[in-house]
């Protein structure tokens, strides 16, 4: 089994009869999925998604893949294949198309409709190529075949890639629900047929590799939702992903059966559901939907709201309801249904929202106390099934954290695959397929690119460290006026502080120390403002650390007079 090492250098030139695979995101993380395939100087990209920030990345809106590896070769890109319409697979497309707007976007009908609407907000009109399961299309030297896969959004696809260097199968996100709500099964027969031709490399979804068995069917959720509706005697507020059309359909069906009206809340929810309804993926009886403004005209037991915010996102509708910062106010007796899984890292945010909702008297139904969500990802039993059916020569686990990818590798080992044919890589690691074997050959730049407002890539790790310090320790600003010639201090230093937790009067203790240090510096002939700032920073920093065991950000300001 190959493992990435920090000492890996840039990959060598690609052999003429080899295929190179470089993931720019999605390995060792849940999100930012983007994989680049190279053959004879031409590139194919599969997915281009975002990662959502965690608490240690304050102020960041989105995290993108780093395009540096392909930035000078964008003209070599034959196509960008989008496996499905989730943000972690399509969210970074607008940022890539800013650099080359005419990259062909290849995907299913729903996926292309969702990304086209998103690109419209960025004033980008894309070049799209609509495909469906069973189709086979060439893009340069890449011969692509598309397979239907079942997931938590309709119209998801796996993609088979044939090249003279070998064939590979990229599953995208998938599961093997045998009773899907739309009747669209994962194309196991297609997988088996493709495998019979000989698959040199399988790139397969690892998210649920630690979960034993087979996935629970989406159809098992309907009775639970119906029970929630049956027991609720006031408003029902359902929070789910804005892309989970099947879950929304189940809620609409339950609302219709219980004589309730439904309103969508949240811009992305309204946009996506309108697209799904227009394309026929969402079936809505004519009189079921109402505008949010009409909710006041309904009795509480007649209303259902479907909202975003199931992950505790700070600006989402549900979080704002929990904080009493939304036009819709949670009332005693309301029922809130969190009909989604919990993305790793969001536990604290979601728990805060649940506590906030409960505080105002709502009953909160979630995955922890009811079967209100099933995963969209294949557990271990299904991953083993695919490995045995496709019989790939080599495996590259994708779409998962380290523990998920290692668990996936263990499953492959149990099916008889040798360690030398399993590659656990990380973002940026170049893996070459040559004569039926895979090996790690180097590493390219693949760090985080932060989006903060309109800024893309300007926020650095150093800036984030400063933000964390400001958020956790506060700051102390020291303003000192000095004689520009002698460096001698003029008057008493001024100290301003925010969030440090130190009483203003306590600084009287350190002011004489700052003055003494500056007087000694002046006596030694030190007049350089940079040296004086460092002197002030060390002086007050040592005092704060020794006295309070704290490390706030210290901003010394030297005013030369």
DSSP structural state of residue 123 = T
C-beta neighbour count of 395 within 10 angstroms = 29
Q: How far is CA 356 from the centre of its chain?
A: 24
Residue 561 marked ligand-binding:
no
Q: Is 484 marked as binding a ligand?
A: no
Q: How far is CA 280 from CA 255, 276, 376, in A?
A: 19, 6, 21
- Other Cβ atoms less than 10 A from the Cβ of 414: the count is 11
* Cα–Cα distance measured from residue 421 to residue 5, given in angstroms and rounded to the nearest whole number: 18
477 is in an annotated binding site: no
Known binder of ligand: residue 377?
Answer: yes
Contact at 8 Å (CB) between 196 and 159? no
User: How far, in Å, CA of 162 to CA of 329, rounded?
Assistant: 55
Tell me if residue 407 falls in helix, strand or coil: helix
399 appears as a binding residue in the annotation: no
Q: How buried is residue 235: exposed, middle or buried, by Cβ count under 10 Å (0-12/13-18/19+)?
A: buried
Tokens of residue 375, six digits: 């995963």
Q: Which among 151, 85, 118, 356 is positioned nearest to 237, based on CA atoms? A: 356
Residue 345's SS3 state is: coil
Picking from 112, 36, 39, the residue whose alpha carbon sits closest to that of residue 104 is: 112
The gap from C-alpha 194 to its chain's centroid, in whole angstroms, comes to 31
Q: How many CB atoms lie within 10 A of CB 419?
A: 11
Annotated binding-site ranges for substrate: 373-377
Annotated binding-site ranges: 373-377
């Amino acid at each position: 089994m190959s493992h990435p090492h920090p000492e890996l250098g840039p990959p060598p030139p690609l052999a003429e009869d080899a295929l190179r695979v470089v993931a720019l995101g999605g390995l060792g993380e849940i999100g930012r999925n983007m994989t680049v395939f190279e053959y004879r100087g031409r590139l194919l990209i599969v997915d281009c998604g975002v990662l959502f920030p965690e608490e240690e990345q304050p102020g960041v809106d989105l995290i993108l893949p780093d395009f540096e590896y392909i930035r000078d070769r964008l003209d070599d890109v034959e196509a960008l294949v989008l496996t499905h319409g989730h943000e972690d697979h399509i969210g970074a497309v607008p940022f890539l198309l800013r650099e080359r707007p005419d990259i062909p976007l290849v995907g299913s009908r729903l996926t292309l409709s969702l990304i086209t609407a998103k690109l419209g907000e960025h004033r980008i009109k894309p070049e799209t190529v609509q495909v469906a399961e069973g189709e086979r299309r060439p893009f340069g030297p890449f011969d692509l075949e598309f397979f239907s896969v079942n997931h938590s959004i309709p119209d998801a696809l796996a993609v088979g890639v044939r090249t003279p260097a070998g064939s590979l199968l990229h599953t995208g996100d998938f599961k093997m629900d045998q009773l899907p709500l739309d009747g669209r099964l994962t194309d196991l027969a297609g997988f088996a047929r493709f495998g019979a031709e000989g698959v040199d490399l399988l790139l397969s979804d690892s998210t649920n590799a630690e979960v034993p068995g087979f996935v629970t069917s989406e159809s098992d959720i309907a009775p639970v939702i119906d029970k929630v509706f049956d027991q609720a005697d006031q408003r029902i507020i359902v929070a789910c992903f804005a892309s989970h059309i099947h879950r929304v359909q189940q809620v609409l069906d339950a609302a219709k059966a219980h004589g309730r009206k439904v309103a969508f809340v949240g811009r992305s929810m309204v946009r996506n559901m309108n697209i799904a309804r227009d394309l026929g993926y969402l079936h809505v009886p004519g009189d079921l939907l109402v505008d949010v403004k009409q909710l006041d005209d309904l009795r509480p037991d007649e209303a259902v709201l479907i909202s975003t915010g199931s992950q505790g996102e700070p600006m989402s509708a549900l979080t704002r309801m929990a904080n009493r910062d939304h036009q819709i106010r949670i009332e005693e007796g309301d029922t809130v249904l969190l009909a989604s899984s919990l993305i790793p890292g969001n536990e604290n945010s979601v728990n805060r929202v649940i506590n906030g909702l409960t505080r105002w008297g709502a009953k909160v139904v979630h995955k922890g106390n009811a079967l209100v969500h099933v995963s969209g990802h294949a557990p271990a039993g299904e991953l083993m099934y695919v490995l045995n059916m496709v019989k790939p020569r080599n495996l590259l686990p994708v779409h998962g954290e380290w523990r998920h990818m290692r668990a996936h590798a263990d499953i492959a080992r149990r099916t008889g695959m040798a360690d030398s044919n399993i590659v656990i890589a990380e973002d940026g690691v170049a893996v070459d397929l040559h004569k039926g074997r895979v090996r790690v050959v180097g590493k390219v730049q693949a760090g985080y690119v932060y989006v903060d407002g309109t800024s893309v890539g300007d926020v650095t790790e150093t800036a984030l460290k400063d933000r964390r310090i400001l958020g956790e320790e506060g700051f102390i600003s020291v303003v000192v006026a000095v004689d520009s010639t002698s460096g001698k201090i003029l008057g008493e230093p001024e100290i301003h502080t925010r969030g440090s937790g130190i009483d203003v009067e306590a600084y009287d203790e350190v002011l004489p120390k700052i003055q003494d240090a500056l007087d000694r510096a002046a006596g030694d002939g030190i007049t350089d403002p940079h040296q004086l700032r460092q002197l002030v920073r060390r002086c007050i920093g040592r005092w704060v650390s020794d006295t309070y065991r704290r490390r706030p950000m210290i901003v010394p300001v030297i005013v030369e007079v």
